[in-house]
Structure 1
């Protein structure tokens, strides 16, 4: 079980971390915008975390002889998710501390520009500037930043794990000899 979890977790982590490292410079260059960056980010997370399905299925077919309980499937999936999530958060920390130190300034500028284009009042813009300044200060703390980064990906993996564990406990879903 540990081998399967490690292999699929590392592959999922490599995919999501690779997409993070690739997409951030594209965001800085304007190829990806802040408006669609969430779609790009969460799509890459879903693609990477689809390996939870394959990890659970591999265990079910190879070690479970075509059978797996929800609990065992959940354990495998959540551990794969945890490995991928930790790799993602570590990758963000490395990127942020080497090449992405101006991320919060860029994001703040984007938010203010978006408000101005939307016709916000000066009062609303000042409130957003204060919010963003407070958030930027909070974001300087690496423990908080790491936790926030984990909270981007881990819930996605939890949901995928729950779905996959529920599906794959049924032996008629992609049976071993199919």
Structure 2
């Protein structure tokens, strides 16, 4: 089980990180946020597709048997390692490539809020929340947690699906 986890965690991490770097380059060179976000999300899905491959490999090595619990264990570890890789790379990118990311993001969100037809009290509340989030994002622990929560739920959902779809009890 360990060798399968090591191999497929590494593959998932490399795929996710490469897509993330490509997404960053695309964003910087073309200033195309929607395409950059789409590419980043696609990288998450492609990277976490390795969970299916890992569970198939384990199932084959285990005489065609894969319990739901074993599927969860293997998939969750791969999802966690892929997610941590993504998060660490974002922390590096944030520090050295996008140090003003949150200020620009918050300003853009506030601009969109101001252009909306929200009730003034609701608008003020939404703007305050965005400003608080921007302030909190300066804390690296907060930023780490927020970034991890962007990707980890996707890995957990794929893990659950793979474990359900591929499970097979012993005869």
Matched, 1:70 2:68: yes
TM-score, with normalisation over the residues of structure 2?
Answer: 0.86
* Correspondent of 2:146 among 121, 145, 148: 148
| Equivalent position of 1:137 in the other structure | 135
| Structure 1 unaligned residues grouped into runs of 5+ | 172-178
Q: Deviation per CA, 1:40-60: give whole Å up to 9, x if none.
A: 433321121011000111111
- How far the C-alpha of 1:69 sits from its partner, in A, is 0.9
| Equivalent position of 2:106 in the other structure | 108
| Equivalent position of 2:15 in the other structure | 15
| Structure 2 unaligned residues grouped into runs of 5+ | none
| Equivalent position of 1:32 in the other structure | 33
Alignment RMSD: 2.2
TM-score, with normalisation over the residues of structure 1?
Answer: 0.83
Return the alpha-carbon distance in structure 1 between the equivalents of residues 66 and 127 of structure 2: 52
1:124 and 1:38, CA in 2 relative to 1: closer, same or farther beyond 3 A?
farther
| Equivalent position of 1:83 in the other structure | 81
Query: Structure 1 segments of 4 or more deviating over 6 A?
Result: none
| Equivalent position of 2:44 in the other structure | 45
1:112 and 1:58, CA in 2 relative to 1: closer, same or farther beyond 3 A?
same
